[in-house]
Amino acid sequence: MTTATLLAGSLVLATSCATSPPAARPLPQTPAEHVVTPVTTAPSKAPEPVKPTGDAINVHKVRWTKATALSRGKQVRLTWWSGVEPCTVLDKVKVKETAKKVTITLYEGTSPKAKNVSCIMLAVEKTTTVKLKHALGKRKLVDGAKP
């Protein structure tokens, strides 16, 4: 960097090669009560078996993660991740069978019993078993909640 200054008719020239580093700023601190630490663990127990309640509110489709044919294909056991009851319950299961595929859709919602209840954010693996009209055979099994 070069600076030129005119003093009383004389030219003064000053040069500099070094620059000072910017002052280090401390990182903003987040209060400990606002720090969220994600925890990933393997399931510690078998999925919780549930049955549809038929009375949930705010019902929506939910994707299942696993489907297993049982009883020579006359039943299908579905497994999915969900919330804790009564905040998240299985409302109903819809099954649509065609010659080429079987579409199964899970619907979850909130139980009417959840009024004035604090709901914790905890994932629970759940399972339910669905009876088919005809054995699954070679038909494709489709999750009705997938777009």
Q: What is the pLDDT of residues 124-141, one digit of tens each?
A: 999 999 999 999 999 999
Is the pLDDT higher at 27 or at 47?
47
Q: How far apart are CA 53 and CA 56, in angstroms?
A: 7
Annotate 17-47 with b (16+ C-beta within 10 A) or e (fewer): eeeeeeeeeeeeeeeeeeeeeeeeeeeeeeb
- Between 28 and 67, the more confident residue is 67
Residue 25 has pLDDT above 90, yes or no: no
Alpha-helical segments (H) within the chain: none
- 3-class secondary-structure state, position 50: coil
What is the percentage of the chain residues whose pLDDT exceeds 70? 70
Q: What per-residue confidence (pLDDT) applies to 51?
A: 97
Cβ pair 62, 126 in contact under 8 A: no
Residue of 93, 101, 94, 95 whose CA lies nearest to 126: 93
Q: How many Å apart are CA 46 and CA 70, to the nearest integer? A: 17
Most confident by average pLDDT, 6-20, 55-69, 112-126: 55-69
Q: What is the pLDDT of residue 45?
A: 81
What average pLDDT does this structure show over 1-6? 46
The band of 115, judged by pLDDT with boundaries at 50, 70 and 90, is: confident
